[in-house]
Structures are given as structure tokens and as C-alpha cells.
Structure 1
Amino acid sequence: MLFDTHLHIVDRQALDYPWLSGAGDLNRDNLYEDYARDALRCGISNVLHMEVDVAADRIDDETNYLREISRRPGSLVRGVIAACRPEEESFASYLEQSLADPFVKGFRRVLHVAPDDTAAQPIFRENIRRLSGTRLTFDLCTFPHQFETVLTLVDHCPDVRFILDHCANPPIKSGMNDIWRKGITEFARRPNVTAKISGVIAYGDLESWSVESLRPYVEHTIGSFGWDRVVWGSDWPVCTLGGGLTPWVAVTHALTSGCSAEERDKLYQANAKRIWSI
């Protein structure tokens, strides 16, 4: 069974998404019912919802929207990785509120849509450091040109548990390069970072990617971090740009077919259950 640590639900009737107007094929509703149908067929048994960069004044509304979904009979949703604004003074009170809410499992601030120096701001670093020793994780969604700044953030917060999304957005379409490869190696040297093997079918040639074209990126990430520091995610609906949930699950099984049952279980679900106490 698979634990999906990276599901996005988009409901334009319920929430506001300022970025969607420029998102091309993703500018549509992607509802839980659509995801759950395929997820159950693919053997997904647990899900964490990943924030979708809603309007800043709707962050709590997004969490509550997913809370209601989690209460439906048979729901797969076990919690949320909530949006946050560590660059703002209000973060400290938001953190206290979230620590009192067991449905919130962690935070994310998408860095590749923010100015490149966002994670270098003293207030940002100090606010993320407030997560030290708590049960909350912080997801890193970053492009390779931002690696140096993000690595400095990680070093400033050695007691915060970071999750590196999407194998750090590898340049699959243009081909392997030293910046990404060495960056993965550097992130893996930090014991407080876990890598998320998620949705990389959306980063290759959307028409002609294959298992073998994705293999070097997934294997380098897992090889660098080791089986105890990797988790799996779908990145639905972004993965639909490369074919969808079912092909991504099939790729996952193909890439891990030669691994031991214990190694597969760690990636598929055991590490996620341990990290987020589910």
C-alpha cells in the first residue's frame, strides 16, 4: 500500500487561488472525489494534503476545508501540510495555533514562486527555527538555482525536520546537470532532510518520457538519502500533466521492482507513518 504525502485539491468554488489564472492546464477544479477514485484503484491507503498556495487570507479556510473531507466516511485524508508565511511577524502566533491542531502535520511555503532571497531573510530563518523539536515538518519546494540559499536555511535550523519535495525539481527534460546532482548530494548530507519521491513524470518530456528517462533522477535521490529518509507522493493533479496518477504509481513500482520488500515498504508508507505519527 502507498502513503501519498503530496495531494493537492483545487476547488475554485470554495477557495481562492490567485496563481491559477496563469497555470494553463491546471486552471481547473481538481476535486477529492476525482482523486480518490483512482487512488483506491492504485492501492493508496493514506493521504496528506499539501497546501495549494491559496490566497493568504484563506489559509485557515483551506485547512478546515480538508478537515471536513477527512471526516467523510472512508476518507483517505489523514492531515494537512498547511500554507504559512514565515516572512511575516504573525508566524509565531500561527505556529502556536497549528501546534494545538493535530490535523496540521507540517508547513510549506513554496519558495520557487517567492523572491529568491525569501529564505535568506533573518525573520524567515528565525521563524522556521521555531519548529525545532516540534512535531511539525517544513516542506522545501525549490529550484536548483535556489539550492545555496535553501541549504543555508537548513543549516540554520538543524533541529527542524525538512522534506525536500519532488526530488528537488530535477531538470529531466533538459538532461542531468551537476547543479542538481551535487545539490541532492548536499541536501542528503544534512540528516534533518528527507527527500520526497513525488510526481517527477511532470518534469520530463510530457509526451515521450519513459521509466528509464526518470530512473537516474529517482535512483540518485534514493541512493543519496538512503531508504530511511525517503517518502512517496503523487503530486496530483500536477502529475496529470505527465499522464496521471496511475502511470506514476506504475513507474514507482517499476523503479523499485528490484528492491527488497523492506526497502519498498519504507518508501511506500513506513517512513511517512513514522515521520508524521500516523
Structure 2
Amino acid sequence: MIVDTHLHLIDKTALRYPWLAGVPALDHDFSQEEYAAQARRAGIEAALFMEVDVDAADIEAELAYVKGLAKAPGSLLRGAIVACRPEEPGFAAWLEKVQANPFAKGFRRVLHVVPDDVSERPLFRENIRRIAGTGLTFDLCVLPGQMRQAFALVDSAPDVQFVLDHCGVPDIKGNAEHPWKEQIAEMAKRPNVAGKISGVVAYADPATWTVETLQPYVGHTIGSFGWDRVVWGSDWPVCTLGGGLLDWVAATHALLAGASDEERTKLLSGNAKRLWRL
């Protein structure tokens, strides 16, 4: 069975998503029911909602909305990674609210939609360090060209548990293994970072990718972090840009064909259950 650590849900009647206007293929609702129908077929037993970069004014509403969805009979939702703005003074108060909400499991601030220096600002780093000791994680969503800043942020907060999204967002379509490959190996040297094997089909050519296309990227990420520091995520519905949920799950099983039962269990569910206390 699988724990999906990276599920997006979109409801344009409830929340505002300014960035969706630039991605027509995703600019509509993606519901819990639509996801669950596919997820159950794929053997997914639980999921963590991942914030969807809503309008800043809707950040608190997004958490309340998803917590409400989780109350539906048979919901797969077990928690949420919530949005935040560590570059702003209000982060400390938001941290207190999130820490008091057991449904919240961590934070994410998408860093490739802001200037590269945002994560280098003193207030940003001070606020990230506040997460230490709370049991909450921080997802790193960065492009390969921002890895220098990501290294510095992780090093500035050694007591915070970070999770690197999407194998570091490699350019699979462009066959760009370098310097991505070296960057992943360098990031994995930091014991407070886990690697998320999530939705990389979105970065491959949707018409031509195969398991062999993905293997260098997924294999290198797992090999760098090791089986005790990797988790799996669908990145639904973004993964639909490269095929879809069932394609990605099937590819994952093929990529893990040479792994032991213990190794597969760690990646697909065990590490996530431990990391987020599911």
C-alpha cells in the first residue's frame, strides 16, 4: 500500500489560485472524489494534502477547507502541508496556530515563484529556524538553478526537517542530468533533508517517456538519500501533465522492481508514516 505525501486539490469556488491562469491544463477544479477513485485503484491508502500556492489572503482558509474535506466518509486525507510566508513578520503567529492544529503536518513556501534571494533574507531564515522542535517539516520546492540557495537555507536551520520535492525538479525532457546529479548528491549529505520521489513524469516528454527515461533521476535520488530518507508523492493533478496518477504509480512499481520488500515499504509508506506521525 502507498501513502501519497503530495496531493493537490483545487476548488476555484472556495479559494483563489492566481497562478492557475498561466497553466490552462490545470485551471479547473480537481476534487477529492476524482482523486480517490483513481487512488484506490492504485493501492493508495492515505494522502497528505500539499498546499496549492493560493492567494496569500486564503492561506488560513485553505487549511480549514482541507480539514473539512478530511471529515468526509472514506476520505484518504490524513493531514496537510500548509502554505506560509516566512519572509513576513506574521509567520510566528501562523506557526503557533499551525502547531496547535494536529491535522497540519508541515509547511511549504514555493521558492521558484519568488526572487532567488528571498530565502537568504535574515527574517526568512529566522522564521524557518522557529520550526525546529515543533514536529513540523518544511518542503523545499526549488529549481536546479536555486540549489545554492537551498543548501544555504538547510545549513542555516540544521534542526529543521526538510523535504526536497520532486527529486529536485530535474529537466527530464531535456535529458539534463548535470549539474542536477551533483546537486542531489550534495543535498543528500545533509542529514536533515529527505528526498521526495514525486510526480517527475510532469518533467518528462508526455508523448515519449518510459520507465527507462525516469530511472536515472529516480534511481540517483534514492541512491543518494538512501532508503530511510525517501518518501513517495503523486503530485496530482500536476502529474496529469505527464500522463496521470495511474501511469506514475505503474512506473514507480517498475522502477522499484529490483528493490527488496523492506525497501519498497520504506519508500511507499513507512518513512512517511514515521516522518509525519501518520
Q: Please tell me the TM-score bracket, short chain as reference.
A: over 0.9
> Secondary structure of 1:66's partner?
helix
CA distance in 1, matches of 2:104, 2:185: 30
1:178 offset after TM fit, Å?
2.2
2:5 corresponds to 1:24: no
The amino acid that maps onto 2:105 is K
Q: What's 2:208 paired with?
A: 208
Residues 206-263 of structure 1: per-residue CA shift (max 9 Å, x gap)? 1110000000000000000000000000000000011100000000000001110000
1:60 offset after TM fit, Å?
1.0
> Secondary structure of 1:54's partner?
coil
> Secondary structure of 2:239's partner?
helix
Identity between Structure 1 and Structure 2 (%): 59
- The number of residue pairs the alignment matches comes to 278
Residues 50-101 of structure 1: per-residue CA shift (max 9 Å, x gap)? 0000011111111111111111111100010000000000000110111111
1:177 offset after TM fit, Å?
3.1
Q: What are the equivalent positions in structure 2 for 1:86-97 lying under 5 Å apart?
A: 86-97=86-97
Q: What's 1:236 paired with?
A: 236
CA distance in 1, matches of 2:24, 2:195: 28
**RMSD between aligned residues:** 0.6
CA distance in 2, matches of 1:49, 1:12: 16
Q: Which runs of 5+ in 2 are unaligned?
A: none
**Which stretches of structure 1, 4 residues or more, deviate above 4 A after TM superposition?**
none
> Secondary structure of 1:178's partner?
coil
2:191 corresponds to 1:191: yes
Q: What's 2:165 paired with?
A: 165
Deviates more, 1:111-120 or 1:260-269: 111-120
* TM-score normalised to structure 2 length: 0.99
2:270 corresponds to 1:267: no
CA distance in 1, matches of 2:186, 2:129: 20
The amino acid that maps onto 2:233 is G
Q: What are the equivalent positions in structure 2 for 1:39-118 lying under 5 Å apart?
A: 39-118=39-118
* TM-score normalised to structure 1 length: 0.99
